[in-house]
Structure 1
Amino acid sequence: MKQPPSTRRVFSLVLLVLAGAAVAGGALGTIGETLRPSVPPPRAADPRASQPPRERATSLAPAPGPQPTLVSDRSNRLFDAQYLQGARQALEQLPALSGHRLTVFHSIHFHDDGRINLDLVDPQQPDHVDSYHFERGQWRKGNPVNPQQFAPTISLQRSSTPLANIDFDAVPRVARALQEQRNALQHPASEVGHVYVIVRKAGKLVWLPDEVAGDRESARLQFDAQGIARSVKRVDGRN
Structure 2
Amino acid sequence: MRKWSVFVLWIFAFLSCRQISKSIDETIDPVDSVADKQKLVSAASTTTSTTHSIVHREGENIGFLKDSVNLLRAEVLLKNLPQYTGKEIYVYSSVSFFDDGRIFIALQHPINPKYVDNYQYEKGKWTGPKPEQLSVKDDIKDRLVPLSLMKFVNVARVCRNYNEKALDIEGAKPVTHIYLSIWNNRVQWFPNSISGSRERYSIEFNNEGTLKSFKRE
TM normalised by structure 2 equals: 0.69
SS of alignment partner, residue 167 of structure 2: helix
Structure 2 partner of 1:129? 116
What number of residue pairs does the alignment pair up?
Answer: 159
Residue 212 (structure 2) aligns with: 230
Question: 1:192 and 2:179 equivalent?
Answer: no
Structure number with higher helix proportion: 2
1:97, distance to aligned residue in structure 2 (A): 1.7
1:106 aligns with 2:93: yes
**Does the CA contact (< 8 Å) of 1:147 and 1:155 recur in 2?**
no
Q: Give the match's secondary structure for 2:207.
A: coil
SS of structure 2 residue aligned to 1:178: helix
Task: Indicate if the aligned counterparts of 2:96 and 2:180 stay in contact, CA closer than 8 A.
Answer: yes
Greater Cα offset, 209-218 or 140-149:
140-149
Which residue of 74, 88, 101 maps to 1:87? 74
* Residue aligning to 2:84: 97
Q: Which amino acid aligns with 2:97?
A: F
Aligned mate of 2:194, from 208, 212, 217: 212
Alpha-carbon deviations, 1:172-193, whole Å to 9, x = none?
A: 1111122122221133x42311
Say if 2:68 and 2:153, in contact at 8 Å, map to a contact too: yes
Residue among 136, 152, 157 paired with 1:168: 152
CA separation in 1, counterparts of 2:202 and 2:134? Answer: 30
Task: Report if the CA contact (8 A) 2:93-2:183 is conserved.
Answer: yes
Question: Which of 132-141 and 157-166 deviates more?
Answer: 157-166
C-alpha distance in 1 between matches for 2:111 and 2:100: 32
TM-score (ref. length: structure 1): 0.63
Q: Cα RMSD between the aligned structures?
A: 1.8
- Counterpart for residue 203 of structure 2: 221
What is residue 39 of structure 2 aligned with on the other side?
none
Deviations 1:80-130 (A, max 9, x none): 011001000001111122221111110111000110111111111111111
* 5+ long unaligned stretches in structure 1: 1-70
Moved over 3 A (4+): none
Using the aligned pairs only, state the percent identity: 30
Report the equivalent of 2:132: 145
Distance in 1, Cα, partners of 2:86 & 2:128: 17
* Shift of residue 142, structure 1, vs aligned partner: 4.1
Name the CA distance, whole Å, in 2 between partners of 1:212 and 1:97.
37
1:157 paired to 2:141? yes
Match of 2:54 in 1: none
The one-letter code of the counterpart of 2:176 is: G
Letter of the 1:120 counterpart: L
Deviates more, 1:102-111 or 1:73-82: 73-82
Q: Which amino acid aligns with 1:82?
A: V
The amino acid across from 1:220 in the alignment is: S
Instruction: Give the secondary-structure state (helix, strand or coil) at the position aligned to 1:147.
Output: coil
Match of 1:76 in 2: 63
Q: Which runs of 5 or more residues in structure 2 are unaligned?
A: 1-56
Query: Which has the higher relative contact order, 1 or 2, with Cα contacts under 8 A spaced 6 or more apart?
Result: 2
Could you tell me which amino acid in structure 1 is paired with residue 170 of structure 2? Q
Q: Who wins on radius of gyration, i.e. which is larger? A: 1
Counterpart contact for 2:61–2:101, Cα < 8 Å: no
